[in-house]
Structure 1
Amino acid sequence: MSATLSDEALDLIFREARTYNGWLDKPVSDEQIHQIYELLKMGPTSANQQPGRFVWCKSQESRERLAQHAMEGNREKIRTAPVCAIIGYDLDFHEQLPWLFPHTDAKSWFEGDEEGRREHAFRNSALQGAYLLLAARALGLDCGPMSGFDQEATTKEFFADQPRYRADWLCAIGYGDRTTIFDRSPRPEFDTFNQLI
């Protein structure tokens, strides 16, 4: 690919995008949620593992249930967001590899290796969660990622029918209220945390 995104697009996704703490009273449609997923699933994962499992809490009832498991400072963010996604992962993602990665017997790489599956599921679902956030921004939506919640309780409540799934983090999605954001925190220069050798 030789084309690059415009500065306007890069601003939308990265440079001007912010983490929101409050939301405008403007809904996110089911179609927009599907559009986010159709983009995020295209992001690369190791051997196309696709271990991410997502619950899109759109109804007020589901957001109230989720808010119960969040730390006090995050509850209102969840309740007032048009959508709050639970980003989770499947510890048995390898069962899907015969059709997701049909080039070879990738399933056998992970059979009997619980710790290896956990590591791969955690890493690659985190990538998928990041793709979710970037996809939402690319579609003109704002995000409020958060980790201040009880993962075990959330897993039990929202993945009860899938005992091998685990909740990892949350992402509120909607149209952000700019009055609820803080001044941007510092971002390090290249030489601070990078080596070019």
Structure 2
Amino acid sequence: MIDAGPVAAAALVTRTGGVPLAPAGVSWPRCASCQGPMQFLAQVALDDLGDGVGGRGVLALFACENDPGMCDDWDPDSGGNQALLFPAEGLGPLPQPEGGVDEALLVLGAVRAVRLVRVDEPDYDQGGQEWAAKNDDPASSVLGQLGGSPAWLQGDETPSCPSCACPMPLIVQLEEGPDHHTAMNFGGGGCAYAFACEPCGHAKFLWQC
């Protein structure tokens, strides 16, 4: 996933930042610990996984930034983050919660499109470094990877589906972003990992640093 520059805030594409798209009637997710609304981080158009199956909808990722470090937003089961699967049809901008919440706590400071490139190197870190060197781009232009195997910074934390108990496939691994003023917060130099069991409709999100 390569940084492709600005894109419309409500574009139905894989992107970081902007406005989450969701079906009508969905409420903005709130943190289970502090009860505050979470920050929207990224959206993945699942068709971009490229397995020939179309109409798979989107995965939306949220994490609590109301009191960083206090709501266990790195844990997949603490309630400090949410990964939500939505169908492809009937999506629209998710209304922000009422009550005068600071927009900086709800959305990132920049919206970045994603350009997908295929790299033959199986090692995620090595592949990103080689791509950046070959294309004379900074390594920070690599925003992550779609699918494949997670490149864990710590131990393997692949979650199991709460319905079928099968290990969830990786949907996306995310870097914090190239600009620290508008970056996602994964503990300072960390990576986030989102998994989903699409048949069961469950998704999980966590980060490590």
For normalisation by structure 1, the TM-score amounts to: 0.27
Higher strand share: 2
Highest relative contact order (Cα 8 Å, sep 6+), 1 or 2? 1
Structure with higher Rg: it is 1
Higher helix share: 1
